[in-house]
Copies of this chain bind each other. A is one copy, B any other.
Amino acid sequence: MSALPREKESRPSQAVVHELAQQLRADSIRCTTAAGSGHPTSSLSAADLMATLFAWHLRYDWDDPKLANNDRLIFSKGHASPLLYSLFKSVGVVSDEELVGTYRHTGSRLQGHPTPLLPWVDVATGSLGQGLPAGVGMALAGKYLDKLDYRVWVLCGDSEMAEGSIWEALDKAAHYGLSNLTVIVDVNRLGQQGPTELEWDLEAYRQRVEAFGCRALPIDGHDLEQIDEAYSKAQQADRPTVILAKTIKGKGVPEIENKNGWHGKPLPPEMAKKAVRALGGERSLHVATPPRVPRPSEVAAEPDVAVPLPRYALGEKVATRKAFGDALVALGARPKIVVIDGEVGNSTFTEAFKAVYPERFFQMFISEGQMIGAAVGLSARGYTPFAATFAAFMSRAYDFVRMAAISQADIGLCGSHAGVEIGQDGPSQMGLEDIAALRAVHGSTVLYPSDATSAAALTREMADLSGVVYLRTTRGAYPVIYAPDESFPIGGSKVVRRSDDDRVLLIGAGVTVHTCLEAADLLAKEGIPVRVTDLYSVKPIDAETLVRSARATGGRLVVVEDHYPEGGIGEAVMEALTEAGESFKLAHLAVRGLPGSGRPAELMEAAGISVEQVAAATRHLLDK
């Protein structure tokens, strides 16, 4: 995997690198002052680190950002975007006009924090402690899947070293022997509100990094030779390397160097002008970063492989989580499918995939944030990652999921053990807010199958969807209600019980589809025909069918969900009907109390979502 650093004889001189660093500083100041906001001082501290990287080590074809063995660079300290964009200017892909004239403007691709609107940015950063976890995912791809000699370089801030996610990431980097990963920590001592916890105590950082299994290289982050040497060593290492670079915040502008109170503040125009002059004025140095040779073709496109889905007999009792695992195995025929576990693969059934495709299964142990971070990184490398844990514990990674949407990552998430239906383990293990949380993620898809057939079919669909896709599965085994070849388009729904005389529409999803079907049987015996909808696609929602069914039943609806009432299926239905301009009377049965432990049926009864309670709500609607 390791690659030689660029040959010393053909590279720019140290004087040129120094000039480049000064240009990066001047440009960082210029663009932030022009924008009236941004983080110049956090950019200045890392300018020497990045100038050295670009001039002497980074291998990248700027005309072909998709080139498979380009090195990858992640600014985990996303607020140093002025530096990143100044680097883009130095390699000629962003003009000085764009940099200084559009930074942080509405509509500009040069946003306050980097996003993949820029073709050279693989993942969005700005929520600290997330760039490195994504970098671990990319380095996993490089070492185990792409098997190419590119390196992943991650620039971290020192403040973000306080995030637990950084240690989850370094732990996994060491566990997987990611010698292709180099982390550069810009230890500039000052955070947003004052000194960081460890300030310039590089020795404390060193001990932590080494204890977590990585190689630590403490250096002076303004000494070009030391930086160069560290980068060279990193490329020869047999482990991930963390370069601990002691730097000065605001370096290069004496009035603000190492001074508190200058975080996230542009220099006033006069001060900026003076500083730029002192740094050597405006320049347009150009730096070349040759790609590695030979140039491989882009990682091969996914071949068109048939994915024969598992088949289940009608009436057979199969848990949807089991069907998810079965479908993953089927999908495994496609070489881009990878699966990431949070040490619960025997509950979520990702272990089924592991048994067949161990080389595309990554164990993150119990670190849900890193699990999603890895998924984002793998997605950025062109893979189709599935990550699964209990629905309840998806909340641990919510910030990562939110950022995945900004990264435009295509990731499949599965949350198992949803709702009070899990029973005895109690509320800490019950996903009861996951639909609300996942619906609110930008561009997300939220799926909630009721049986094994639909669970397998929807898992298959997930592999080809864009954005964050969430599948909610159930712990217990319930009867298969769909024949094997039924299709489940995203944004659709199924009317699973209907007559021409239906008086009320019962809407369920997942386990409550079975509740609704049983309630319909009960009501039918009483002479009350009801329609039942399986709302397996919670987002996007099948507004058209809902409107039609609601009209057919006189606008009377009962929504039943194993989820807290806020932000769940009931509100999704209300939103859809309201947007369509429909009038309706709706009884919303959801989990309103704090559940405890108990048998699933007892807990569903206690939550007010049992068969009899659905029937009672239906009768009550008709009595009104």
Contact = CB atoms under 8 A, between A and B. Distances in A.
Contacts of A35: 424
Contacts of A425: 37, 112-113, 126
Interface string A429-444: 1001100110111110
Interface of A: 35-38, 78, 104-108, 111-113, 115, 117, 124-129, 159-160, 162-168, 171, 175, 191-193, 196-197, 204, 207-208, 210-213, 341, 343-347, 351, 364-370, 392-393, 395-396, 398-399, 402-403, 405-406, 423-429, 432-433, 436-437, 439-443, 539, 564-568, 570-572, 574-575, 578-579, 581, 583-586, 588, 594, 596-599, 602-603, 606, 624
Given A129-B366, A406-B428, A208 B197 contact: no
A574 to B, nearest CB: 4
Given A440-B433, A602-B106, A159 B366 contact: yes
Contacts of A175: 197
A426 B112 contact: yes
Contacts of A210: 207, 211
Contacts of A38: 424
B572 A574 contact: no
Given A197-B365, A402-B433, 11 more contacts: A113-B425, A159-B366, A163-B396, A193-B343, A208-B211, A392-B402, A432-B440, A433-B440, A436-B437, A566-B567, A583-B583
A565 to B, nearest CB: 7
29 contacts: A37-B423, A37-B424, A104-B597, A105-B598, A106-B603, A113-B428, A113-B429, A115-B426, A126-B426, A162-B168, A162-B364, A162-B365, A162-B367, A164-B369, A192-B343, A192-B347, A196-B365, A395-B402, A436-B440, A437-B437, A437-B567, A440-B564, A539-B566, A566-B567, A566-B572, A567-B567, A571-B574, A571-B575, A575-B588
Most buried by B among A168, A370, A425, A428: A428
A399 B393 contact: yes
A579 B617 CA distance: 13
Given A427-B406, A439-B567, A192 B346 contact: yes
Contacts of A596: 106-108, 111, 115, 117
Contacts of A406: 427-428, 594
B211 A207 contact: yes
A238 to B, nearest CB: 18
Most buried by B among A126, A211, A440: A440
B192 A344 contact: yes
Nearest to A574: B574
Report the copy number of this chain in the oligomer: 2
Contacts of A583: 583
Contacts of A439: 436, 566-567
A77 to B, nearest CB: 11
A213 B208 CA distance: 10
B211 A124 contact: no
B165 A105 contact: no
A571 B567 CA distance: 7
B564 A442 contact: yes
A432 B108 CA distance: 21
Nearest to A624: B581
A163 B367 contact: yes
A37 B38 CA distance: 54
B211 A197 contact: no
A78 B364 CA distance: 21
Contacts of A578: 574, 584-586, 588
Nearest to A212: B208
A429 B126 contact: yes
A115 B394 CA distance: 21
A374 to B, nearest CB: 13
Contacts of A624: 581
5 nearest interchain CB pairs? A164-B164, A126-B428, A567-B567, A106-B598, A433-B440
B433 A441 contact: yes
Contact of A159 (B163, B365, B429, B579): B365
Contacts of A572: 566
Contacts of A567: 436-437, 439-440, 566-567, 571
Most buried by B among A347, A439, A443: A439
Contact of A440 (B128, B163, B346, B437): B437
B442 A163 contact: no
A5 B344 CA distance: 40
